[in-house]
Structure 1
Amino acid sequence: MASFIISLRYTAPIEDVDGLLADHVAWLRGNHAAGHFLGWGRKVPRDGGLILARGESRNAVELLAAEDPFVAGGVAEFEVIEWAHGFLDDSIAGLAG
């Protein structure tokens, strides 16, 4: 499994984003339960978010990100960044897969 960061950027007013928040959170939790997502959070300032993900390939993670209710609902766009960790503190060693 490879490690990825999914970077979301809001493209609509925050009120529109908030209208899809419950569906987005359910999507995050479902993908965590499936072993795809290790963590997530909002960017500061609140103009998007980051998701720490694992996947077989960039394409697989891109397909998953496209299913995000924020993306499917037209209020956000995403970038998938693959990264090769050189060092991980013991507190986040789970990112190594």
Structure 2
Amino acid sequence: MFVLELTYTAPLDAVDTVLEAHVAWLDEQYERGVFLASGRKNPRDGGVIIAVAGDRARIEEITAGDPFVTAGVCAYRVTEFVATKTAPALEAYRETL
């Protein structure tokens, strides 16, 4: 499982010009079963996504396609972790060491 932390690297007005494309990209990743949760940070200086994929390389490939990245308005920090304990609704994503 992965925590994807987005940090805006441009002013919010530049981020907002790409927001619609970013949301469409998010929707694609939800449809593919990659993203489990996402949202803005507070204060609004980026966002957080919880994701699942086979490996880090695949996640990095996916994040490289984010319109925020291609427009140069955000950077990603990818943290991989082993989800050994989950809420019942996320049991399918539970992992063992």
TM-score calculated relative to the size of structure 1: 0.90
* Aligned-partner SS, 1:22: helix
**1:60, 1:73 → 2: CA distance?**
20
Count of matched residue positions in the alignment of Structure 1 and Structure 2: 95
Q: Could you say which residue in structure 1 is the equivalent of 2:53? A: 55
Deviation at 1:94, TM superposition (A): 4.8
Q: Could you say which residue in structure 2 is the equivalent of 1:4? A: 2
**Equivalent residues of 1:38, 1:95 under 8 A apart:** no
**1:41, 1:84 → 2: CA distance?**
21
Deviation at 1:66, TM superposition (A): 0.8
Structure 1 residues 8-87: aligned runs within 5 Å: 8-87=6-85
Question: Tell me, which stretches of 5 or more residues in structure 2 are unaligned?
Answer: none
Q: Between the two proteins, what is the percent identity of the paired residues?
A: 40
Deviation at 1:62, TM superposition (A): 0.6
TM-score calculated relative to the size of structure 2: 0.90
Question: Tell me, which stretches of 5 or more residues in structure 1 are unaligned?
Answer: none
The Cα RMSD (Å) is: 1.4
Which structure's residues are more often strand, by fraction? Answer: 1
